[in-house]
Amino acid sequence: MGVNIMTRQQVRELSVVGQSLEVIDWVLYDTLTLSTGGTQVAFRFFQQAVGQAGISLDKTNMEIPGQLPAGYKFVCQKIVALPRILPTLTAASVKDMASVSHKGHAQFFIGTRPYMQAPLVNLVGGAFVGFVGAFDAATSLAYAAPRTVINGELENGITIPANFSFSIAVDYDAAPTLAANTDLTIQLVGKLIRPRQG
């Protein structure tokens, strides 16, 4: 089975399916940690699974590393990159999040072929806002500008078939310089097609 590209109209029509399938809104996600003092420049997302080496649902919801189970398909409509916001917003944490999310580039691979290529900053989503430290001329970073629009929307839905390898590759020209370990989560937003229960 090959990779299908679906128009918006075809994706909308997925609500009408046979009795053996169900179609639900779904997010596939995977989180990797970029280490302070690290030298790694290449990161491959969706290559780990829940329960593997103690990995929990907080990090990923993949059941099998790098692929969907038999009988499943996923129609990807949006790709979102989210740097993990620390409990306490500081100047250093804002700089770390910007270093992770505003440099490098991303590619969406199914099999060996890329189906999306973009600067990583084009995929940043969610909120990235706040004052840090004292608000005066001596503060090196006092405000992080908000991003309220989630980018990374695909014009057409790209279908990941079952038992077919896929990944998001994030590559940097140089390893980000970080004050603390920083998590980066990649989300694939779309429709999950799976067998009905029973």
Q: Which domains does the chain show, CATH number per domain?
A: 5-195 (2.60.120)
Burial zone of 182 (CB within 10 Å; 0-12 exposed, 13-18 middle, 19+ buried): buried
Whether the pLDDT of residue 127 is over 60: the answer is no
- What mean pLDDT do residues 86-94 have? 72
**pLDDT at residue 143, as a whole number:** 46
Of the listed ranges 21-35, 55-69, 87-101, 124-138, the one predicted with least confidence: 124-138
Residue 114's alpha-carbon distances to 96, 107, 111, 136, 169, in angstroms, are 28, 6, 8, 46, 10
**pLDDT at residue 4, as a whole number:** 80
Is 38 in a helix, a strand, or coil? Answer: coil
What letter would DSSP give residue 169? E
Whether the pLDDT of residue 87 is over 90: the answer is no
Whether the pLDDT of residue 76 is over 60: the answer is yes
Whether the pLDDT of residue 1 is over 50: the answer is yes
Average pLDDT across the chain, whole number: 84
Other CB atoms within 10 A of residue 190 CB:
25
**pLDDT at residue 30, as a whole number:** 98
Cα–Cα nearest to 99, from 30, 32, 29, 36: 36
DSSP H helices in the chain:
8-12, 91-101
Give the rounded percent of residues in the chain with a pLDDT score beyond 70: 80
Most confident of 61-70, 89-98, 128-137: 61-70
**If pLDDT is split at 50, 70 and 90, which confidence band does 147 have?**
very low
**If pLDDT is split at 50, 70 and 90, which confidence band does 136 have?**
very low
- For the four alpha carbons of 167, 170, 171 and 177, in that order, the dihedral sign comes to negative
Is 105 in a helix, a strand, or coil? Answer: strand
What value, to the nearest 5°, has the Cα angle with vertex 165 and ends 42 and 70? 145
Is 62 in a helix, a strand, or coil? Answer: coil
**pLDDT at residue 13, as a whole number:** 72
Q: What is the model's pTM?
A: 0.84
Instruction: Please name the residue that has the structure tokens 């937003």.
Output: 189
Cα–Cα nearest to 108, from 71, 154, 64, 65: 154
